[in-house]
Structures are given as C-alpha cells and as structure tokens.
Amino acid sequence: MGTRPILPSSCALATTAEEAGYRIDAPVEGRRGTRVVALDDDAATAVRRLARERWNAARFLTLRTGPPPAPDGTDGTDGTDDALPLHHTGGAATDLAAELAAADAVVMIASARAGDAAALAAGRIGRACAGRGVMTAGIVLGGADARASVAALRPHARVLLAGADDRDAADLLTAIRA
C-alpha cells in the first residue's frame, strides 16, 4: 500500500499566496460575538493585551477580584451560574447572563497556575453556556505544570488548547473570527 500525498490546499500552512487571496476576512453577518474571559490574574494580563488588538465583535472580560462567588448566594448574588460577576477590561461591571445574551462563543483563558476560583468560574461559565447552546473553548497559558488548569477547564470547554502563549490565543481568536 502506497502513501497518499498531502495536497497543498489540505493544510493552512501549505496554502499558496494565490489560494490565500481567496480567504474571506470580513466579519460574518449575524454573528453576535465572542466573549473572552480571564479566569485568573495571569490570564487577565494576557486578556488585557489581547483586548488592545483589533477584533470583530469580541468582548474581553475578567472575573471579579476577591473571593469567588458563593454557589449558595450568600455573597449577594442569587447563586446561579448566570449571576457570575465579571468586569470588562476597561473596568465596567457586568455579569455572565448579560454577556451570554449577546454571545455565540465563549473562550475561557487560564494560566497554568490558576486555582480553585478559576475552576469554579469555569464550571459556572460552562454550565451557563451549555444551557444556551453557546460554544465554549479553553486556553491554558503557560508551560510545564498546567495539569490542574487543564483538568479544571476540560469538562467545560469543547475545544481546549494547553501550553499556549498570548500569540496562540490571538491565533485561535482570529481563526474563530472573534
């Protein structure tokens, strides 16, 4: 049995300049937008850098600082996944329900050192997205010992990119036309 050659058009890296000229980079009509959520402080730094780039309809968010919201509502929220308090990278407060109302994809970004608060937030975001049919993806920034962060995101992200850096995150957002 012989090997089959890989056609130039079957791999984005092998696309010729002429073929790349046919790529459509315009925003997709009817898209509501991607929400990019930093799950810890290191990820928030990366998300703020990403927010400075040019995007279609993406919004960049961070978790509220301090202790994570209590699941039973004793912290002033109603205890539902939708009540997860967030902030835009510019500082304006919002919550998960408001952001998901106008989203068709959510990308959660965590660092390799993300802790329990990130895992709790990933669960709440993942459940809220699943209930609405919103596509989820996860990016774990950093290197060697990211197992805990990967384990926290894996059940809640349909696509997971581990061991990534800021540029990988930007490439993923570009690929989904965020």
> Could you read off the pLDDT of 38-50 as tens digits, one per residue?
999 999 999 999 9
In-domain check, residue 16? no
The pLDDT assigned to 46 comes to: 95
In-domain check, residue 100? yes
In-domain check, residue 18? no
In-domain check, residue 4? no
The pLDDT assigned to 145 comes to: 76
Query: What residues contact 174, with CB distance under 8 A and at least 6 apart?
Result: none
Residues 18, 19, 24, 25, CA torsion sign: negative
The pLDDT assigned to 166 comes to: 83
**If residue 61 lies in a helix (H) or strand (E), which one and from where to where?**
strand 59-63
The pLDDT assigned to 105 comes to: 95
Long-range contacts of 78-85 (CB under 8 A, 24+ apart): 81/123, 81/124, 81/125, 81/127, 81/128, 81/131, 82/128, 84/121, 84/124, 84/125, 84/128
- Could you count the other beta carbons within 10 Å of the beta carbon of residue 175? 9
The pLDDT assigned to 45 comes to: 94
The pLDDT assigned to 176 comes to: 86
In-domain check, residue 171? yes
In-domain check, residue 1? no
State how many domains the chain has.
1
The DSSP call for residue 9 is G
Instruction: Identify the CATH number of the domain in which residue 112 sits.
Output: 3.40.50.1440
The pLDDT assigned to 71 comes to: 54
In-domain check, residue 93? yes
In-domain check, residue 129? yes
Tokens of 48: 């703020």
Find the domain containing 137 and state its range. 31-65+81-175
What's the pTM value of the predicted model, to 2 decimals?
0.77
Per-residue pLDDT of the chain (178 residues; tens, 9 = 90+): 555 555 544 555 556 777 766 666 665 555 679 999 999 999 999 999 999 999 988 999 999 765 555 555 554 554 567 789 999 998 899 999 999 998 999 999 999 888 888 889 999 999 999 999 999 999 999 866 788 888 888 999 999 998 888 889 999 998 888 8
